[in-house]
Amino acid sequence: MPGIGSILERNARRVPNREALVFGGRRFTYLQLDAAVNRAARVLQRLGVEKGDRVALMSPNSDQFVIVFYAGLKLGAVIVPINPRLAPPELAYQLMDSGSRVLVFAPQLKSVVEKVRQQKLPTRHYLATLPCEPFADVVTLSSAESAEPLGIVVAEQDNAQILYTSGTTGLPKGVLLDHHAVIWAGTNISLGVGIREGDRLLHAAPLYHSAELNLFLMAGTLLAGTHVVLPAFEPETVLNVLEQERISVFFGVPTMYQFLLRQSGITGRDLSAWRIGMYGAAPMPPSVVREMIAKLSGVQLFNLCGLTEMGPGGICLQPHEQLSKMGAGGKPIVNTEARVVDDNMRDVRPGEVGEWILRGETMMKGYWNNPEATAETIRDGWLFTGDLATVDAEGYITLVDRRKDMIITGGMNVYSVEVENAVRSHPAVADCAAIGIPHADYGETVAVVVTPREDRELTLAEIRDHCAGQISDYKLPRLLFLGEVPRNLSGKILKYQLRKTYAETNREPATGSLQVSALN
């Protein structure tokens, strides 16, 4: 089977005049989108990009993100989507680790790029998506290129993406996916939730994220749907677009749905075209699920729970199960197998806790340049998630804890070790631990428990200012507790104790600790 680029070309021949992409005032038919992608691919080709080369793409949602993404894939290049909120050290690490030959970036990220450009990296070309002096840009260069097909043969076994995620070490790992995995990710979600030929999909969640990129951009393209792209999530704008553009498919993290439900007049809007509403990436409060069912009665709701390492793919809770199985992750999505096993890889009995493992067509090839982590994660053909779960007598899987100590705030993954490393670098910090504190809107908020050095005082503002240049803004602590960090005899932090004290009970800190500040 040929690669992803051939699907776009096929749509351009089959439904040339169907609307393919909408961003602001710019609209592309499939014929126009394929032509724009071919021109952008030739721009990359003139920079020396060849099959297998890595091309990093750092941009908020835009039409140019979509065009450059498909352009790289048509060349047989490996696209490295990068979070546009990364701090310079984080960006430099991903460029170095991936060996990206080119970085394509949005003009508003120019200052970050200029800082990284001064370092010794494998990146040879820095190309803006739109005019941005003194950098060359894709739009200007594309205007001089041919829209004819490039004629490069890309197979489904060829590498397509490196998507960065983090593990317990705090260093991001690159998830390597081939065209086969990405195509199957789009196919599985289409079959699993019922996305149809010609559906109109709204992209408000970030496209650099595996769910929005591989599930929904891919699914929509496979079925020649219309992609309506917003630069960011803004509740009133999303409701306007859902109504005006007759959107039929939407995915959002729980925080997005909570903000949508708070908008006045939501029940009076004409959302009759909205058929499928998916949510995931973080737990959804039961009260919000009930409110969604009441206020969005015409929308079929699906709870998705998966991993980037699976394409992403995993388990799904169907519309008719939202109330009866509330809190569960669901059952395996189409063409995917899931189990909960003990340390000897035996299936646990109903109600027992074990590790959630997966396998299927969407599974990653491995972690980029990290055979040790790959061997630890993929064993006997199964992907070991590191997440603890239970399974009931009917086969519904429920996640109960995260071995990776991951904090999920507003659908964004924050790994505690990354936060701790930044906080510990402050000269007044003797010890620290990062945990997630429940938050009504964002699911969790980042909190740190800090032991100051003797005779030193610390404030939340001081900690945040110190960490700002090292980690992304959404990873910055929003709550600070001063106190001792409990450790076992091996020196490992007893985070379950911290969660019990600060998160689960929501009590005031124990004597000797001080809640300095909280940002809402």
**Nearest CA among 331, 257, 256 for reference residue 293:** 257
Inside any domain, residue 136: yes
Q: Which residues pair with 80 in a beta bridge?
A: 56
Q: How far apart are CA 69 and CA 57, in angstroms?
A: 8
The answer to whether residues 222 and 321 belong to one domain is: yes
Q: What pLDDT, on the 0 to 100 scale, is given for residue 481?
A: 92
Which are the contacts of 265, defined by CB distance < 8 A and separation ≥ 6? none
Q: What pLDDT, on the 0 to 100 scale, is given for residue 313?
A: 94
User: Is there a contact between 309 and 281 (Cβ–Cβ < 8 Å)?
Assistant: no
Inside any domain, residue 355: yes
Q: What pLDDT, on the 0 to 100 scale, is given for residue 169?
A: 43
Inside any domain, residue 169: no
Q: What pLDDT, on the 0 to 100 scale, is given for residue 507?
A: 42
The answer to whether residues 140 and 263 belong to one domain is: no
The answer to whether residues 49 and 87 belong to one domain is: yes
Of 403, 424, 456, which one is at a domain's C-terminal end? 403
User: Is there a contact between 78 and 52 (Cβ–Cβ < 8 Å)?
Assistant: yes
Inside any domain, residue 59: yes
Q: Strand, coil or helix: what is 343?
A: coil
How far, CA to CA in Å, does 242 sit from each of 128, 229, 245, 464, 494? 30, 11, 6, 37, 45
**Exposure on the CB side of residue 121, measured as CA atoms within 13 A:** 28
Domain with residue 193: its CATH number is 3.40.50.12780
Q: What pLDDT, on the 0 to 100 scale, is given for residue 188?
A: 98
Inside any domain, residue 250: yes
Angle at 372 between CA 370 and CA 373, to 5 degrees: 70
The answer to whether residues 118 and 260 belong to one domain is: no
Q: What is the pTM of this model?
A: 0.85
Inside any domain, residue 425: yes
Q: What pLDDT, on the 0 to 100 scale, is given for residue 168?
A: 39
The answer to whether residues 398 and 410 belong to one domain is: no
Which residue carries 């009866």 as its tokens? 324
Q: How far apart are CA 124 and CA 103, in angstroms?
A: 8
Number of domains in the chain: 3
The answer to whether residues 383 and 487 belong to one domain is: no
What is the DSSP secondary structure assignment for residue 215, as one 8-state letter?
I
Q: What pLDDT, on the 0 to 100 scale, is given for residue 418?
A: 81
Domain with residue 410: its CATH number is 3.30.300.30
How far, CA to CA in Å, does 67 sit from each of 44, 298, 314? 12, 33, 28
Q: What pLDDT, on the 0 to 100 scale, is given for residue 294?
A: 94
The answer to whether residues 237 and 279 belong to one domain is: yes
Distance from the Cα of residue 49 to its chain's centroid:
26
Q: What pLDDT, on the 0 to 100 scale, is given for residue 417?
A: 78
The answer to whether residues 7 and 59 belong to one domain is: yes
Inside any domain, residue 174: no
The answer to whether residues 192 and 328 belong to one domain is: yes
The answer to whether residues 349 and 200 belong to one domain is: yes
What is the DSSP secondary structure assignment for residue 509, as one 8-state letter?
P
The answer to whether residues 207 and 79 belong to one domain is: no
Of 383, 403, 423, which one is at a domain's C-terminal end? 403
User: Is there a contact between 448 and 438 (Cβ–Cβ < 8 Å)?
Assistant: no
Inside any domain, residue 120: yes
The answer to whether residues 75 and 43 belong to one domain is: yes
Q: What pLDDT, on the 0 to 100 scale, is given for residue 508?
A: 39
Q: What pLDDT, on the 0 to 100 scale, is given for residue 490?
A: 46
**Exposure on the CB side of residue 96, measured as CA atoms within 13 A:** 13
Domain coverage including residue 314: 179-403
Q: What pLDDT, on the 0 to 100 scale, is given for residue 488?
A: 59
Which pLDDT tens digits describe the chain residue by residue (520 residues)? Answer: 689 999 999 999 999 999 999 999 999 999 999 999 999 999 999 999 999 999 999 999 999 999 999 999 999 999 999 999 999 999 999 999 999 999 999 999 999 999 999 999 999 999 999 999 999 999 999 999 999 999 999 999 999 999 998 543 457 899 999 999 999 999 999 999 999 999 999 999 999 999 999 999 999 999 999 999 999 999 999 999 999 999 999 999 888 999 999 998 898 999 999 999 999 877 787 888 999 999 999 999 999 999 999 999 999 999 999 999 988 899 999 999 999 999 999 999 999 989 999 999 999 999 999 999 999 999 999 999 988 889 999 999 998 766 667 788 998 888 787 898 899 899 999 889 999 998 888 889 999 999 998 878 899 999 999 999 899 999 999 999 999 988 754 456 778 788 888 866 444 343 333 344 444 3
What is the DSSP secondary structure assignment for residue 487, as one 8-state letter?
B
**Nearest CA among 93, 97, 96, 98 for reference residue 72:** 98
Q: What pLDDT, on the 0 to 100 scale, is given for residue 513?
A: 39
